[in-house]
C-alpha cells in the first residue's frame, strides 16, 4: 500500500516525502509543478505530473496504485496573492480538495492528513493560540484553508487530521532540498538573500507594533519537525485515532529584529535593514500552543533553537542561491 502525497514537489511536501521514504513508506507524488520543482521530487517516489483538479489523473493514480492514505499539500499559499486573486485560491485550493475527496470516495481511500495553516485564525484572540480559538481568516488564502478543513469534516467515513502550521522554516540538514519559491515573500529566505549578495537590505515591515521591539512576532517551526508531525498523524489514523485538528509550532515567538540578529550570527555577516510600512493584514503576534499535538500525537519538535533552524536554511541557500536552478 502506498501513501499519495499531493504537492510532493513543494517545500513542505518534498521534506515530508523525504521523511516518509526514510521510514520505509512507499510514496506516490502528484504535483502540477506550478509552484513545486522537478528537482525536489524524491527519486524513490513514483511521480505523476498533473493537477488534482483533473479527475482523470487522480483516477489513473488510484487505479494504477493501491493507495492507503493521502497527505495533501497541493495548494497556493501566498497571502498577498490571495487578496489580489481570490478566485485562484478558491479554484486551486477549494476546487482541488473537492475533486480529491471525490476520487478518494470513489476508490474507498478513507484517511487524509491535510496541510492547513495558522492563517485560519486571522487576528488572534489570545496568545498562545489553541485549536479551540475562534477561526476568522483575514485573507482568501486562510479562508480557503478553513473551507478545505470544513469540507473534509462532512465526508462520511473519512478519517482526517488537519495540521495548522505556523511559520515553516529551514531545510533538510544535508542541504539536498530546501525552500525555493518562484515568488519569495517569506522573512528568513529574504533575509538570507542579503548575505548572498542578491539583495542590498531587508525591509522590516513596521516597527510600531505593540511588541517589545516594535516588530512582529512569529513562531518559527522547522520543516522536518512539520514533516514528522505528518507521519505521526498518519500513524495515529492507522491506529484508529479520531479525526482531529492540531496546531504545529514551537510555542516560542521571535520578532523580525530577533530573526535578523540570529541570521547575522549564523552567517557571520552584518545584515543591512530598512524600516518600511506595515504590511496589510499582519497580526502583531502569532504563537502556537502545540500542547495538543505533543500530547495526542506524541510530537516533539527537535529544532527548538532558532539559530539552528536558520543555519539549515543558510546551508541550503548558500549552496543553491538560485534555488532549483534547473527550471
C-alpha cell at 229: 508531525
In angstroms, the CA 243 to CA 153 distance is 8
Which listed residue (141, 160, 209, 236) is catalytic?
141
Q: By CB under 6 A, is residue 311 in contact with ligand UFG?
A: no
Q: Name the grid cell of 170.
A: 529551514
- Smaller CB separation from ligand UFG, 34 or 235: 34
Q: Can 165 be counted among the known catalytic residues? A: no
* Residue 100 three-state SS: helix
Binding mask 134-153 for ligand UFG (x = CB under 6 A): -------x------------
Confirm if 118 and 286 have CB atoms less than 8 A apart: yes
What is the size of the binding site for ligand UFG (CB under 6 A)?
Answer: 21
What span, in angstroms and rounded, lies between the C-alpha atoms of 308 and 75? 28
What is the dihedral sign for C-alpha 263, 266, 267, 271? positive
Spatial distance between the Cα atoms of 97 and 76, rounded to a whole number of angstroms: 12
Question: Which 43-82 positions form the footprint of ligand UFG (CB under 6 A)?
Answer: 77, 79
The beta strands (E) that lie in 223-317 are given as 244-248, 254-255, 273-276
Q: Is 205 in the site for ligand UFG (CB under 6 A)?
A: yes
Q: Whole-number minimum distance, CB 261 to ligand UFG, in Å? A: 14
Q: What is the CA radius of gyration of the chain?
A: 19
- Asked if 29 touches ligand UFG (CB under 6 A), the answer is no
> Closest CB to ligand UFG among 1 and 275?
275
Cell numbers at residue 303, please? 529544532
Q: Output 35 or 167, the one with its CB closest to ligand UFG.
A: 167
- DSSP letter, residue 94: I
Nearer to ligand UFG, 279 or 302 (CB): 279
At its nearest, how many Å lie between ligand UFG and the CB of residue 77? 5
Residues that bind ligand UFG (CB under 6 A): 77, 79, 117-119, 141, 167, 185-187, 190, 202-205, 216, 218, 256, 279, 282, 286
Amino acid at each position: 500500500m502506498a501513501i499519495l502525497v499531493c504537492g510532493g514537489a513543494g517545500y513542505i511536501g518534498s521534506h515530508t516525502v523525504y521523511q516518509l521514504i526514510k521510514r520505509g513508506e512507499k510514496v506516490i507524488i502528484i504535483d502540477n509543478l506550478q509552484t513545486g520543482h522537478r528537482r525536489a521530487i524524491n527519486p524513490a517516489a513514483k511521480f505523476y505530473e498533473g493537477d488534482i483538479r483533473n479527475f482523470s489523473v487522480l483516477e489513473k493514480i488510484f487505479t494504477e496504485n493501491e493507495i492507503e492514505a493521502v497527505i495533501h499539500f497541493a495548494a497556493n499559499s501566498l497571502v498577498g496573492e490571495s487578496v489580489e486573486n481570490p478566485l485562484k485560491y478558491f479554484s486551486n485550493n477549494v476546487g482541488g480538495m473537492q475533486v480529491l475527496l471525490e476520487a478518494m470516495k470513489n476508490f474507498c481511500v478513507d484517511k487524509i492528513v491535510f496541510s492547513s495553516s495558522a492563517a485560519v485564525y486571522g487576528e488572534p484572540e489570545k496568545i498562545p493560540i489553541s485549536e479551540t480559538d475562534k477561526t476568522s481568516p483575514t485573507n482568501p488564502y486562510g479562508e480557503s484553508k478553513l473551507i478545505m478543513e470544513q469540507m473534509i469534516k462532512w465526508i462520511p467515513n473519512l478519517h482526517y487530521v488537519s495540521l495548522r502550521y505556523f511559520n515553516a522554516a529551514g531545510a533538510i540538514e544535508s542541504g539536498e532540498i530546501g525552500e525555493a519559491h518562484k515568488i519569495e515573500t517569506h522573512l528568513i529566505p529574504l533575509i538570507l538573500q542579503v548575505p548572498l549578495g542578491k539583495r542590498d537590505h531587508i525591509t522590516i515591515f513596521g516597527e510600531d507594533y505593540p511588541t517589545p521591539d516594535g516588530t512582529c512576532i512569529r513562531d518559527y517551526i522547522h520543516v522536518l519537525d512539520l514533516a514528522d508531525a505528518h507521519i505521526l498523524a498518519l500513524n495515529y489514523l492507522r491506529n484508529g485515532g479520531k479525526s482531529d485538528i492540531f496546531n504545529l509550532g514551537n510555542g516560542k515567538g521571535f520578532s523580525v529584529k530577533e530573526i535578523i540578529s540570529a541570521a547575522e550570527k549564523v552567517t557571520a555577516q552584518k545584515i543591512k535593514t530598512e524600516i518600511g510600512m506595515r504590511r496589510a493584514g499582519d497580526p502583531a503576534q502569532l504563537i502556537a500552543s502545540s500542547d495538543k499535538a505533543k500530547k495526542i500525537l506524541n510530537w516533539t519538535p527537535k529544532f527548538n533553537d532558532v539559530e539552528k533552524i536558520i543555519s539549515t536554511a543558510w546551508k541550503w541557500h548558500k549552496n543553491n542561491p538560485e534555488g532549483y536552478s534547473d527550471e
